[in-house]
Amino acid sequence: MSAIDAGIVPQPKPESLAPSFYSGKQTLRGWLFTRDHKRIAILYTLSVTLFFFLGGAAAAMIRYDLIVPSGELPTEVYNKAFTFHGVVMVWFFLLPSIPVTLGNFLLPIMIGAKDLAFPRINLFSWYLFVGGGAFVVAALWAGGVDTGWTFYTPYSTMFSNTNVYLAIIGVFVTGFSTIFTGLNFIVTTHTMRTPGMTWMRLPLFVWGLYAVSLVMVLATPVLAMTLALVGLERVVGVGVFDPSLGGDPLLFQHLFWFYSHPAVYMMILPAMGLASEIISCFANRRVFGYKFMVYSMLAIAVIGFMVWGHHMFVSGMSVYAVMVFSLLSFLVAVPSAIKIFNWTATLRKGDIRFTAPMLYALGFVGLFLLGGLTGLFLAAPALDEFLHDTYFVIAHFHYVMVGGSVMAYLGGIHFWWPKVTGRMYSERLAKFAAILMFVGFNVTFFPQYLLGYRGMPRRYHSYLPQFQELNVISTGGAVLLAISYTLPVLYLLWSLKYGKKAPHNPWDARGLEWQTSSPPPKENFLHPPVPREAYAYDKPAP
C-alpha cells in the first residue's frame, strides 16, 4: 500500500534533532517518579489497558454463561462476574480512558504549554488510580462482590455477604484520582494557554476535556460520600438508607445517580472531542459550526446533572418527579443531536480519506447515534415501564459507551500513535481491526435490543428458552469483538520496534501538536508555538 493510500502526506520539513521525552531518565525511578505529563500518560495507558482486559475477561464469562437458557455458571458466580465487569469497566476503564491517556499527553501540547499546572498532583492521581484498582482486585481475590456496579441499598448495606467494603474503598480512592485530574485540567486550560491561544481557537478535544473536567469535579465527590455512607451503614448496622428506621433506600439511588448519570457524560464528552479532531483531519475540512460544538458540549455537561431520575422511573419515586426528569432527559438529547448534524456537515464536500482512525471515528458517529436514539425510547416513562432492567437498556448503554466511547478512544490511539511513539502502525491491519470491531460490535449488541424488547431481564444468569437464539448470536459476536480488541494491542506493540519512523505531521493535520517532533521533546516545543485559528484545513499546514 502506498503512503498516499495510508493517508500519510509526505513532509518536506526535516526532522527535529531534539531528543524525545523517552530519552532522559530511563530507569524505573525515572518513570515512577516522573513529573512529565507525557510519561504519566503512558503509565496510565498501561494500567487502563490492563483493566480493560480484566473487565473483558468478566464480559467473556457473562457471554459464556448466557449460551444456554439454564446458564452455564452458578448464580453467585454470574452475579460476581457482572458486578466485576461493571465496576472495572466503568471506573477503571471508560471513565479514565480518554482523559488520562490522550488527555494527559495532548492537553498541554495542544494549548502550547510545557506541562500541566500541577505535575506532582498528576503523578499522585496515577498512584491513587492504581491503588484503587488494587483494592478492587483484592475484592475479586477475596471472593468477589455481587451487588452489581450500582451497589443498590438495602442489599449492599444489609444483605450481601460479599466483599462490598473492599470494592467501595477501591472506587472511593479512584474517585479522588478523577477529581484531581479534573482539577488539573481546568486550571491548566485557564492559566497555561500560550499567548495567542484564545478560548475560541482551542481544539474541540481541549473543550471536550474541559467540559469533562467540570463534570469530574462537581459529580465525583458526591459518589465518594455516597459510597462512604454505604460502607458505614454496613459496619455500624444502621444508617440513613435503613427502611426499618424510617430511612429511605431510594435516597441512595438519588445520590448515586446524581453522580453516575453525569459520569456517563464524562465517558462521552472527550470521545466527542476526539471525533471532531479525526473527522476534520480526514475530511480535510473545518469543523462545521465550531461555536455550536463548544456550547453543546458545555450544555451536555450542565444539563446532564439534571436528568438522573430517569434511572429511577420504576423505583417508586413520585410520578411528578418522573415527569420532570423525563422532560429534562429529552432536553439533554438536543445538544448531542446538534453535534451529530455538525459532524455530518463537516464530512459533506470533504476530501475524505478512509484511514483507520477515520473508520473508528465514523463508526463512533453511527453507533453513538443508534445508542442515543434508543436513549430517547428509555426517557419516555411509558416505554421505560417495560424496558427498565431489560436487555434493551444494556444494548443502549453499550452502543453509546462501547460503540461510542471505545471506538473513539481507539481512533484517537491510532491517530496520535505516530506522535506519541514516533512510529507508524500497519494501516492494513488497523483497517481490518476497525471493520471487524464494527461488525462484531453490532452482532453482539443489536440482538440485545430485540431481547430486551421481547422481555429478557438483565442481571439474571438464566433465561427463558425462547431467547436462546439471539443470545448465541450475541456471544458469537463477542468472540469477534474480543479478536478485534486484541489485534490492535499486537500490531501496535509490533510497530514500536518495526514500524516506520513517523514524521512530525503524517496526517497533514492542523493543531499545535503536529508542529512538534514525533515523539515530542520533554519541554513539548523547542520554540514557543504560534497558534492560529483552529482547523485551518483550507490553508496549508504550517
**Least distance between other proteins and beta carbon 28 (Å):** 23
Report how far residue 341's alpha carbon sits from residue 360's, in angstroms, rounded to the nearest whole number.
Answer: 18
**Least distance between other proteins and beta carbon 239 (Å):** 6
**Amino acid present at 140:** L
Instruction: Mark the segment that binds other proteins (CB under 8 A) among 304-312, 345-353, 386-394, 457-465.
Output: 304-312
Interface residue with other proteins among 60, 134, 158, 317 (CB under 8 A) is: 317
Interface residue with other proteins among 1, 17, 28, 236 (CB under 8 A) is: 236
Number of residues that bind other proteins (CB under 8 A): 52
Question: Of 93 and 241, which CB lies nearer to other proteins in the complex structure?
Answer: 241
**Least distance between other proteins and beta carbon 320 (Å):** 4
Question: Of 193 and 285, which CB lies nearer to other proteins in the complex structure?
Answer: 193
- With CA atoms as reference, report the closest residue to 184 among 392, 35, 355: 35
CA 390 from chain centre, in angstroms, equals 23
If you write DSSP's letter for every residue of 323-377 in order, what string do you get?
HHHHHHHHHHHHHHHHHHHHHHHHHTT------HHHHHHHHHHHHHHHHHHHHHH
Which backbone phi and psi does 534 adopt, to 5 degrees?
-75, 150
Per the CB < 8 A criterion, the answer to whether 399 and 374 are in contact is yes
Interface residue with other proteins among 56, 133, 273, 309 (CB under 8 A) is: 309
515 lies in the site for other proteins, by CB under 8 A? no
Per the CB < 8 A criterion, the answer to whether 368 and 411 are in contact is no
Instruction: Mark the segment that binds other proteins (CB under 8 A) among 128-136, 300-308, 432-440, 441-449.
Output: 300-308
304 lies in the site for other proteins, by CB under 8 A? no
Interface residue with other proteins among 159, 161, 320, 348 (CB under 8 A) is: 320
Interface residue with other proteins among 119, 131, 148, 289 (CB under 8 A) is: 119
- DSSP 8-state code for residue 515: G
Residue 238 Rama label (left phi>0; alpha psi -120 to 50; beta): beta
Q: Strand, coil or helix: what is 144? A: coil
Interface residue with other proteins among 9, 57, 67, 232 (CB under 8 A) is: 232
333 lies in the site for other proteins, by CB under 8 A? no
Per the CB < 8 A criterion, the answer to whether 442 and 478 are in contact is no
Report how far residue 535's alpha carbon sits from residue 290's, in angstroms, rounded to the nearest whole number.
Answer: 9
**Amino acid present at 151:** F
12 lies in the site for other proteins, by CB under 8 A? no
Report how far residue 146's alpha carbon sits from residue 462's, in angstroms, rounded to the nearest whole number.
Answer: 16
Question: Of 236 and 382, which CB lies nearer to other proteins in the complex structure?
Answer: 236
Report how far residue 90's alpha carbon sits from residue 377's, in angstroms, rounded to the nearest whole number.
Answer: 23
E strand or H helix that includes residue 169: helix 164-191
Instruction: Mark the segment that binds other proteins (CB under 8 A) among 267-275, 302-310, 435-443, 511-519.
Output: 302-310
User: 481: which residues sit within 8 A by CB, 6+ positions away?
Assistant: 437, 440, 441, 444
Site for other proteins in 339-398 (CB under 8 A): none
Please name the residue that has the C-alpha cell 472495572: 88
**Least distance between other proteins and beta carbon 309 (Å):** 7
Name residue 423's beta-bridge partners.
Answer: 501
220 lies in the site for other proteins, by CB under 8 A? yes
Report how far residue 486's alpha carbon sits from residue 479's, in angstroms, rounded to the nearest whole number.
Answer: 11
Instruction: Mark the segment that binds other proteins (CB under 8 A) among 215-223, 271-279, 369-377, 476-484.
Output: 215-223
User: 142: which residues sit within 8 A by CB, 6+ positions away?
Assistant: 163, 166
**Amino acid present at 518:** S
183 lies in the site for other proteins, by CB under 8 A? yes
305 lies in the site for other proteins, by CB under 8 A? yes
Question: Of 76 and 248, which CB lies nearer to other proteins in the complex structure?
Answer: 248
- With CA atoms as reference, report the closest residue to 250 among 150, 101, 128, 362: 150
Residue 60 Rama label (left phi>0; alpha psi -120 to 50; beta): alpha
**Least distance between other proteins and beta carbon 75 (Å):** 30
Q: Strand, coil or helix: what is 409? A: helix
- With CA atoms as reference, report the closest residue to 399 among 328, 435, 447: 447
User: 383: which residues sit within 8 A by CB, 6+ positions away?
Assistant: 377
**Least distance between other proteins and beta carbon 534 (Å):** 23
179 lies in the site for other proteins, by CB under 8 A? yes
What length does the chain have? 542
118 lies in the site for other proteins, by CB under 8 A? yes
Per the CB < 8 A criterion, the answer to whether 507 and 524 are in contact is no
Interface residue with other proteins among 6, 229, 264, 410 (CB under 8 A) is: 229
159 lies in the site for other proteins, by CB under 8 A? no
Site for other proteins in 55-114 (CB under 8 A): 113-114
Specify burial of residue 449 (Cβ count, 10 A radius: 0-12, 13-18, 19+): buried
Interface residue with other proteins among 245, 489, 490, 493 (CB under 8 A) is: 245
Specify burial of residue 183 (Cβ count, 10 A radius: 0-12, 13-18, 19+): middle
Interface residue with other proteins among 87, 202, 255, 456 (CB under 8 A) is: 255
191 lies in the site for other proteins, by CB under 8 A? yes
Question: Of 321 and 530, which CB lies nearer to other proteins in the complex structure?
Answer: 321
Interface residue with other proteins among 50, 57, 77, 217 (CB under 8 A) is: 217
218 lies in the site for other proteins, by CB under 8 A? yes
Question: Of 261 and 353, which CB lies nearer to other proteins in the complex structure?
Answer: 261
221 lies in the site for other proteins, by CB under 8 A? yes
Interface residue with other proteins among 238, 327, 489, 490 (CB under 8 A) is: 238
Question: Of 231 and 412, which CB lies nearer to other proteins in the complex structure?
Answer: 231
Give Rg (Cα) of the chain.
23
Instruction: Mark the segment that binds other proteins (CB under 8 A) among 10-18, 219-227, 354-362, 393-401.
Output: 219-227
Contacts with other proteins, residue ranges (CB under 8 A): 113-119, 179, 183-184, 186-188, 190-192, 217-222, 224-226, 229, 232, 236-240, 245-248, 250-251, 254-255, 258, 305-306, 308-309, 317-321, 324-325
